[in-house]
Amino acid sequence: MNIIELRHPYHQERVIKEEVVLVLGFFDGVHRGHQAVIEQGKKLAKEKNLKLALMTFNQHPSIVFQKMSKETMTYLTSMHQKAQLFEKAGVDLLYVVDFTSAFAKLTPEEFIEQYIIGLHAKVVVAGFDYTFGYQGKATMTDLAQLANQRFEVIEVPELSEHGQKVSSTAIRQALAKGDMQAVNELLGYPYTIEGTVMHGDARGRTLGFPTANIRFTPTTRLPIEGVYVCEFKVGNTWHQAMGSIGHNDTFGEGRKLTVEVYILDFHQEIYGEFVEVRWLHLLREQIKFDGAERLIQQLHQDEVDTRAYFATLAKES
């Protein structure tokens, strides 16, 4: 997959000069609703013998429109994760546009001229709720009317299950409750964060549960604080694990939030490694224990529960 970054106003020579099916969206999470949009684009690209292009943004539009801080905005997927998921879905060409104030001021007509006609789109595919132009006021209905037969517009309808829209908002709500089954069903894959293993205070080692302390970006959306069944990837290998998101209140108030992962049957030094963590199941929410001994007892029970979870998975498969 070819990735091209564009900053408004972009130079035309940066654009691939061939006709494409162009998929539009921000796609935070690249959930099953998003996947349906991309799949529709892929199907049309195959029928028309065109490359499948996708245009997204480097940051959420609300940072500009609602003047939100970049530091307070969190995402279900990083741009690195999005790119991996887009490539897996069959996207040939990925345009990542810097969502700046200058870009945000484009009228709907200017957006179409520069970012649809300008990207050589013969067909445009987007979800039913896609908006564009200044303050995002133009809708898919407007897009169809403004096309003027210069390109075809395909609107992909809402994907719903059990009376609920498959959406990034629904996923965030489920994360806030630790309902990882709902999260992963809506996504169509296990919720995953990325980070680097860094040195912590090594308390886990003294408790008999040495953990990998994960440094993650502030824009990462974490599940609710608690202890989870996880899978941990280092190098090219996934390992069974249990992960903790919390402040370690047992050892004092006011501690910073940490993500720590205890990897089952693992005895390697991995400081500085880039890793991924899949969050599969919430075992329990965080508890402040009255001492280290009680915490150790609970950690042993958490490990038993984690191994039982994986054993059940193995039986079901």
Bridge-based pairing of strands 237-246 and 160-161 is unpaired
Rounded distance between C-alpha atoms, residue 31 and residue 128, angstroms: 15
Instruction: Give CA–CA dist 317/300, Å, rounded.
Output: 26
% helix, strand, coil for the chain, step of 5: 35, 30, 35
Specify the CATH superfamily of domain 1-162. HUPs (3.40.50.620)
Residue 157: is the preceding peptide bond cis (ω within 30°)? no
**Weakest-pLDDT range from 45-49, 110-114, 132-136, 227-231:** 132-136
3 state SS of 69: coil
Q: Do residues 63 and 99 touch, judged by C-beta distance below 8 A?
A: yes
pLDDT band of 316, cuts 50, 70, 90: confident
Per-residue pLDDT band at 112 (split at 50, 70, 90): very high
If phi over 0 gives left and psi between -120 and 50 gives alpha, with beta otherwise, what is residue 133?
left
What amino acid is encoded at 66 in this protein? Q
Chain centroid offset of residue 124 CA:
23
- Rounded Cα distance between 308 and 297, Å, is 17
Q: Do domains 1-162 and 189-314 have the same CATH topology?
A: no
Separation CA 179–CA 266 (nearest Å): 27
For tokens 């308390």, what's the residue? Answer: 203
Stretch 121-139: mean pLDDT: 94
Tokens representing residue 274 in the block: 């880039």
DSSP structure class, residue 221: P
Token pair for residue 95? 């345009």
**Region 123-136: what's the mean pLDDT?**
93
Q: Which of 16-25, 51-60, 240-249, 275-284 has the lowest mean pLDDT?
A: 240-249
Fold classification of 189-314 (topology level): Elongation Factor Tu (Ef-tu); domain 3 (2.40.30)
Q: Is the confidence at residue 10, as pLDDT, over 80? A: yes
Could you tell me if 18 and 51 are in contact, meaning their C-beta atoms sit under 8 angstroms apart? yes
Residue 69: the pLDDT is 67
**Helix (H) or strand (E) run with residue 282 in it:** strand 274-285
Phi, psi of 11 (to 5 degrees): -90, 135
- What mean pLDDT do residues 278-305 have? 91
For residue 66, the model assigns a pLDDT of 73
**Strand 274-285 to 237-246 pairing:** unpaired
| CA distances, 203 to each of 211, 212, 252 (Å) | 9, 11, 13
- Confidence at residue 161, expressed as pLDDT on a 0 to 100 scale: 84
Q: Are the C-beta atoms of 251 and 202 separated by less than 8 Å?
A: no
pLDDT at 72 over 80: no
| One-letter amino acid for residue 167 of the chain | S
pLDDT at residue 151 tops 60: yes
Sheet of 2-6, strand order:
2-6, 93-97, 51-57, 20-24, 121-127, 152-156
Mean pLDDT of 26-35: 98
CA distances to 9, 47, 55, 57 from 20, rounded to whole Å, are 21, 12, 11, 18
Give CA–CA dist 230/315, Å, rounded.
Answer: 18
Q: Mean pLDDT for the chain?
A: 93
Domain boundaries, the chain: 1-162, 189-314
The pLDDT of 116-128, averaged and rounded, is 98
